[in-house]
């Protein structure tokens, strides 16, 4: 994409408040505001430590969106992978190719980093995102189900799991 209005850059720790604001916008879009329990300071610390990375897209000098990612590992491939935690473009900037540009930059990063794969999750009801990912050549993993223990579940398991 060669739109001179669009620039992308790696997020720095001082971008954490800006990123956290957009995370709030994403949570509102996904109707998951109550799931946001972190803070901008926690995000800042995680960027500083290298635990998490982000790209920020700016369009016409305004913040348009972000992609937040981290590296994981595949035991079968014996290679690291890139996990896209969130990709978000603010509503007023959609349909300008910004999501595609962020996604392609991450794919380039994964390839250049020798990753064996790039993965992410998508809410089943999010038809626009599903269509976008299919258009980009991605496919859902029908044979896999995402499982989760949240923080409360982990505490309960650690407290009660030893008794069994």
Read off the pLDDT of residues 22-42 as tens digits, 9 standing for 90 and up. 999 999 999 999 999 999 999
CA dihedral 79, 80, 81, 83 (to 10 degrees): 160
Which two three-digit tokens encode residue 134?
A: 């299919």
Q: What is the mean pLDDT of residues 133-144?
A: 93
> Alpha-carbon distance 92 to 142, whole Å?
33
Q: Indicate the pTM of the whole model.
A: 0.91
Quick: pLDDT tens for 70-127: 999 999 999 999 999 999 999 999 999 999 999 999 999 999 999 999 999 999 999 9
The catalytic site residues sit at 133
CB half-sphere exposure, 65, CA atoms < 13 A? 21
Q: Give the pLDDT confidence score for residue 150 in this predicted structure.
A: 87
CA distances from 88 to 151, 153, 157 (A): 25, 28, 33
The reported pLDDT for the residue numbered 122 is 93
Share the mean pLDDT of the chain.
94
């Amino acid at each position: 994409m060669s739109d001179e209005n669009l620039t992308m850059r790696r997020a720095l720790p001082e971008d954490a408040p800006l990123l956290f604001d957009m995370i709030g916008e994403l949570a509102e879009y996904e109707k998951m505001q109550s799931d946001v329990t972190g803070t901008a300071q926690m995000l800042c610390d995680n960027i500083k430590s290298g635990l998490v990375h982000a790209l920020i897209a700016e369009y016409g000098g305004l913040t348009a969106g972000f992609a937040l990612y981290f590296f994981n590992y595949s035991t079968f491939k014996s290679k690291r992978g890139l996990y896209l935690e969130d990709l978000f473009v603010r509503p007023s900037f959609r349909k300008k190719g910004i999501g595609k540009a962020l996604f392609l930059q991450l794919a380039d990063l994964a390839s250049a980093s020798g990753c064996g794969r790039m993965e992410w999750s998508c809410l089943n009801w999010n038809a626009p995102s599903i269509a976008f990912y299919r258009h980009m050549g991605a496919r859902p993993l029908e044979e896999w189900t995402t499982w989760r223990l949240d923080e409360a579940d982990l505490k309960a398991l650690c407290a009660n799991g030893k008794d069994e």
